[in-house]
Amino acid sequence: MLYQIYVTYIVPLTILIPVLIALKNYRFLTKPLKTIFWFLIFSGTANVINLILISSHHYTATLFHIYTIFEFLFISLFYNQFYSKKYQNIIYVIISGFTVLCIVNYLFIQNKIEFNTYTRPLEAIIIIIYSMLYILNQHNDEQNWGDHIYNWINTGILLYFASCLFMFIFSNYLINAERSVTMAVWSAHDTLLALQYILFAVGFYKCKTHRITSTY
């Protein structure tokens, strides 16, 4: 019962924390933060559709296939804004290639009732690479780690995708698992998702208090 409330209500509702903070500070949001904000809106809507489909006993695997494409698109566009034109073009190529791969996977390989266990882990790995490259480029920064708003967003993304990588790989095995195992894995996944939303919320909150202060 508690598990049901946690997974069905508490975690999906956590998304409201960053969304509400972002709405409150909307005029302070930078372009990358706006990308994350619209990603959250999309993610929340997809979650609501997912819950409706589950309650009307429909298969939701198709939704995951579509969700993966857009999730990758939003997150790639977020990281895209930290690079020069040359690298931005590379990211556009990656987005296009990944989208084609997802469509091919849905139409010919893992269709209808299967989870996209080939494309979702691939998505997670590419996003982990984006995130690591971001950290690599941040080392010369002269700001305190916590004062840098994108560090919070990046940490949320990295923690979620790296920790859930194994779950994405074995999603199709987990369908047949015992209820206790499924509950444990999904609780862990949902907790990480909630953590990601909270870290996003900190980023959105910090964008307003972010001021350049003179040390003199």
Partner 1 sequence: MQNTPDNIYILVILGMAGTFLLVASFIFFSIRNQNKLLRQRQDFQQAQIEHQKELLRAVIESQEAERKRIGQDLHDDVGTTASGLRLLIEMFKPGDDIKANQDFTQSTKTIIDKIVKDVRNISHNLSPSTLRYYGLAAAINEHCTIINQSGKLEIALANNAEQALGKLPLQTSTALYRVLEELLNNTIKHSGASKASINLNMVNDTLHIEYTDNGKGLTADVELVKKGMGMQNIESRLLNINAVYTLDPYAGKGFRIKIECPVIEQL
Residues that bind partner 1 (CB under 8 A): 135, 138-139, 141-146, 151, 155, 158-159, 162-167, 169-170, 173-174, 176-178, 181, 184-185, 188-189, 192, 215
209 alpha-carbon distance from chain centroid: 24
CA 170/CA 165 separation, integer angstroms: 9
Ramachandran category for residue 112: left, alpha or beta (phi over 0 → left; psi -120 to 50 → alpha):
left
Helix (H) or strand (E) holding 76: helix 61-80
For partner 1, which is the closer residue by CB, 23 or 181? 181
CA 153/CA 202 separation, integer angstroms: 8
For partner 1, which is the closer residue by CB, 86 or 142? 142
- Is residue 164 within 8 Å of residue 115, measured between CB atoms? no
For partner 1, which is the closer residue by CB, 29 or 171? 171
Task: Write down the least CB distance from residue 76 to partner 1, Å.
Answer: 20
For partner 1, which is the closer residue by CB, 110 or 151? 151
Task: Write down the least CB distance from residue 37 to partner 1, Å.
Answer: 23
